[in-house]
A = this chain, B = another copy of it.
Amino acid sequence: MMKEVSIPNRIIMTPGPVEVDPRVLRAMSMPILGQYDPVFRGLMGEVSELLKIPFETKNTHTFAIDGTSRSGLEAAMLGLIEERDRVLIPAFGRFAYLWAELAERAGADIKMIEKEWGGTFEPSEVIAAIKEYQPKVLAMVHGETSTGQMQELKEIGRYCQENDVLFIVDAVATFASTPVKVDEWGIDIAVGGTQKGLSVPSGMSTITYNERVEKILTSRYQKELGLDPKVRNKRFIKSNYLDLSQIQRYWSAEGINHHTEATSMIYAIHEGLRLVQAEGLTDRYARHKLNEQAMVTGLKAMGLSIFGDPATKLPTVTCIEVPEGVDEAALRSTLLSNFGVEIAGSFGSLAGKAWRIGNMGYSSRKENVLLTLAALEASLLVNGAQINKGEGVLAAMKVYQEN
A-to-B contact residues, CB < 8 Å: 1-5, 7-10, 12, 14, 16-20, 25-35, 37-39, 43, 46, 49-50, 66-71, 74, 94-98, 100-102, 104-105, 193, 195, 201-203, 224-227, 229, 236-242, 257, 259-265, 267-268, 270-271, 273-274, 277-278, 336, 342, 347-348
Given known contacts A229-B97, A277-B1, is B34 in contact with A12 (CB within 8 Å)?
yes
Q: Is the CB of B17 within 8 A of A32?
A: yes
Q: Is the CB of A104 within 8 A of B261?
A: no
Complex CA distance for A321 and B100, rounded to whole angstroms: 51
18 CB < 8 A contacts A-B: A2-B46, A2-B50, A3-B274, A4-B27, A10-B37, A18-B32, A19-B31, A20-B31, A66-B71, A66-B203, A68-B259, A98-B224, A98-B240, A105-B238, A202-B262, A203-B203, A203-B265, A262-B265
Chain A binding surface, main DSSP class: loop
Contacts of A9 in B (CB 8 A): 31
**A249 → B minimal CB distance (Å):** 15
Please name the 6 residue pairs, one residue from A and one from B, whose CB atoms are nearest each other, closest first: A203-B262, A97-B226, A29-B29, A68-B259, A201-B264, A97-B225
Contacts of A12 in B (CB 8 A): 32-34
Q: Is the CB of A5 within 8 A of B30?
A: yes
Given known contacts A17-B260, A31-B10, A226-B95, is B5 in contact with A240 (CB within 8 Å)?
no
Q: Which of B195, B238, B239, B271 contacts A5 (CB 8 A)?
A: B271
Q: Is the CB of B7 within 8 A of A33?
A: yes
- Given A70-B259, A203-B262, A265-B265; 8 other pairs, CB 8 A cutoff: A1-B277, A7-B30, A14-B34, A17-B34, A17-B35, A66-B71, A203-B203, A257-B347
Complex CA distance for A43 and B33, rounded to whole angstroms: 27
Given known contacts A33-B10, A240-B101, is B68 in contact with A347 (CB within 8 Å)?
no
Q: Which of B10, B66, B74 contacts A240 (CB 8 A)?
A: B74
Contacts of A278 in B (CB 8 A): 1
**A31 → B minimal CB distance (Å):** 6
Contacts of A271 in B (CB 8 A): 4-5
Q: Is the CB of A239 within 8 A of B240?
A: no
Q: Is the CB of A270 within 8 A of B5?
A: yes
Q: Which of B7, B67, B195, B274 contacts A71 (CB 8 A)?
A: B67
Complex CA distance for A2 and B46, rounded to whole angstroms: 8
Q: Is the CB of B25 within 8 A of A31?
A: yes
Q: Is the CB of A260 within 8 A of B7?
A: no
Q: Is the CB of A101 within 8 A of B226?
A: yes
Contacts of A67 in B (CB 8 A): 66-67, 71, 241, 259
